[in-house]
Structure 1
């Protein structure tokens, strides 16, 4: 059998947020799958919600790529592994193409990935060409082509195509009757969208796609491992330990790579649902409460007395508890939602959480630990008022100034900081009580 030739790879980017990158990426993934292609999708930057939506579109886990948080070589390995068995790889960018440091454009240049620009054409026609050429030449980046979103008619599409000059128009997407709705932290979660699969299929049906232009794109060949290569060995300091992970619509913001790493470190993973009033499993040696939307489920969490009693009991037993952002919010004394309603939470971290109208924290952060730097990010609309003194603060990647507070209350580690666990496996093992 001949070796797999590799995959066509594009970075789906735009001049700004709100142009329809996720909608186009989801539609294109579904369309390529219908064409018989094996599709892998990645998300550039620190993001939880878009990858969950994109996973619904393509049917496989969506990992994050970021030159700082994930690292150059880890990103390279992810892409090369995907090219071993995929025909198409779509990398959805973050914000605008050149926004951030590192930016989506930096990622594209690092790996020679051509950019597929999404242009919201709803309020422009020939100016689309100027935008596309500006996106290409400013960096510069290699431009695979354009997908024009929210096109009004075939005549409108023709004007856009003519304006692009030497840049291919690979596809157009009409103004959508049904679209993927949004909220303050990004797109809503798939379980909250009625008939999501029907919407994704409708988007795939409506995209006008130039298959010949797609087939003309270059192929990324999978890297061949040296014949003498030895599989990498990893210590297993979490061997024999069971980590219970909260997983329901209140606690869904997890990097897939985080769970993969915990397993690679030897941990057994079990899941429980606080919203269903599941208790922390008695056999759990550690608990992971990731972020999510606890503010949307205040009444259910307040009423989940079995869950609240069990997390208090686990804390009293000294079970390590790692609570990130929404997970931390659910462990405060109370949570006041955007409508001003206060709900009783678990009360492990003395203090009150209140939702804000404006963004309260955003950006890449690093946490210094005895085992070295753990990288990650923060993104939240709430504030915590507490008299508990922080044990430490993260450091903002961009400014090197203090960032999010880190609280230690007994066996509880809590912060608005979302850690990307593969950036420091030894630090993560220590957080979850692993053997030194």
Structure 2
């Protein structure tokens, strides 16, 4: 992406209270605390913008529900620092508060939460699950605060605290210069349920509003300590993408089976001139009138029979492809286009059949991590995260490069106007390349 100077009308830095909420590991309660804070401030009439560190689709759904605004990802490697800065600069111009949820542990990954916080000068608050801990809580907190020199560390939030006495013990153990920002009591009415890819999707948690309300109540008395300091976000803008999709209409799958999509990808397609219309492969009997189809990732394995039984939708996709119109599919959308998909119990169902091959869900993770994909038009970046094993007949036209030493490349497949892979690609990294996914009429 090309970085250009901000216009003279927006050249001044924008100041906004901001905090990155991290933890020593996954499962400590980052999402619960971030969502509870966003929910609380929204209920108080404040404009809250929330971001998620790293390539995550499920946590942002919870955060969108909590703050009432779109949630964007922030990742230095996948997106580039300039793009991260631009998103935060825009948010600072319209928000009273910015919250950034971290990913995994504070220092985990090649582009970690700590890397992001340090690059953007955003202070960090760490959530620590305090169950079964006393003075060791302070040791973990001290390690997080001092492991990397120069990291702005605001303090710690104790989660799942057993009693007022337990909270006092935790506070007394901390170094004198470290703040216990909050002590959140253990409460079964607050936890967020999960499955193999992470938390349940927001639409699946029927009592999500009650859970967030209760979590906000548990933090209510600590709000004065949890108000972050203001951060100056420098003025920056990137060149808008070319209008390569002007006049194009793209049908985007969006339902309980296909919901893993970056909001930034949709924004990018619209910025290139595309009109977006949404449809449901689960419920609709046909495609909307469109030039191209976008099948994002999701949970097709949880809806095998419904997808298999929707014969009109499968035929509509075949007719669309036969007409030379573009189809672009990622991960779950890719699996949907195969001959068949089987869940981890072994139940197999017929899918669309546009790509020769079959996939079977595994009980263990098959691939995870950041990837770089080199195509004819250049490089684009994204990530892979799936539990299925693929048996494909078609040879890939390219194989991605995994950034993790123990990761493996993902094949990128093309069949006529259809292009698909396990990868979740980030379109704003290379909009010109992404536009080609929706142009159609490719040769086999």
TM-score range for the pair, normalised by the shorter chain length = over 0.9
- Using the TM superposition, give the Cα deviation of residue 294 of structure 1 relative to its aligned residue in structure 2, in angstroms: 0.1
Aligned to 1:155: 165
Unaligned runs of at least 5 residues, structure 1: none
CA change 1:171–1:278 in 2 (3 A) is farther
- Tell me how far 1:210 sits from its aligned partner: 2.6
Shift of 1:209: 4.1
Per-residue CA distance 1:31-60 (angstroms, 9 max, x = gap): 222333321110000111111111111111
- Offset of residue 261 of structure 1: 0.2
1:249 is aligned to 2:256: yes
Tell whether the 8 Å contact from 1:241 to 1:266 is kept in structure 2 after alignment: yes
Residue 260, structure 1, aligned to residue 267, structure 2:
yes
**Is this contact kept in 1: 2:240–2:271, CA < 8 A?**
no
Q: Which residue of 1 aligns with 2:364?
A: 358
Q: State whether structure 2 residue 435 is matched by structure 1 residue 424.
A: no
- Within 1, Cα distance between the matches of 2:111 and 2:81? 11
Distance 1:380 1:58 in 2: 28
Does structure 1 retain, via aligned residues, the 8 Å contact 2:371–2:381? yes
Label 1:85 to 1:434 Cα distance change in 2 as closer, same or farther (>3 A). Answer: farther
Which runs of 4 or more aligned residues in structure 1 lie more than 3 Å from their structure 2 counterparts after TM superposition?
Answer: 221-225, 231-234, 398-402
Q: Distance in 1 between matches of 2:14 and 2:402?
A: 41
Partner of 1:80: 89
* Cα displacement (A) at 1:232: 4.2
Query: Structure 2 matches for 1:16-415, cutoff 5 A?
Result: 16-140=25-149, 141-165=151-175, 166-178=177-189, 179-215=191-227, 217-223=228-234, 232-281=239-288, 283-399=289-405, 403-415=409-421
- The alpha carbon displacement at 1:77 in A equals 0.8
After the TM superposition, which of the residue ranges 324-333 and 172-181 deviates more from structure 2?
172-181
The separation in 2 between residues aligned to 1:171 and 1:135, in whole angstroms, is 17
SS of the aligned residue for 1:135 comes to helix
Residues 224 and 351 from structure 1, CA distance in 2 versus in 1: closer, same or farther, beyond 3 angstroms?
closer
| 1:277/1:305 contact within 8 Å kept | no
Shift of 1:434: 7.9
TM-score (norm 1): 0.94
Q: Shift in Å at residue 264 of structure 1?
A: 0.2
Seen in structure 2, the aligned counterparts of structure 1 residues 5 and 320 have a Cα distance that, compared at 3 Å, is: closer
Q: After superposition, give the CA deviation of every residue in 1:384-422 in whole Å (9 maximum; x if it has no partner).
A: 101111111011123498600111112111100110000
Three-state SS of the structure 2 residue aligned to 1:338 is coil
Shift of 1:218: 2.4
- Distance change >3 Å, CA 293–CA 358, structure 1 → 2: same
Residue equivalent to 1:14: 23
- C-alpha contact 1:6 1:87 (8 A) present in aligned 2: no
Q: How many residues align?
A: 428
Q: Secondary structure at the match of 2:282?
A: helix
Q: TM-score, normalised by structure 2?
A: 0.92
Are 2:367 and 2:407, in contact at CA under 8 Å, matched by a contact in 1?
no
How has the CA–CA distance of structure 1 residues 399 and 362 changed in structure 2, closer, same or farther, with 3 Å as cutoff? same
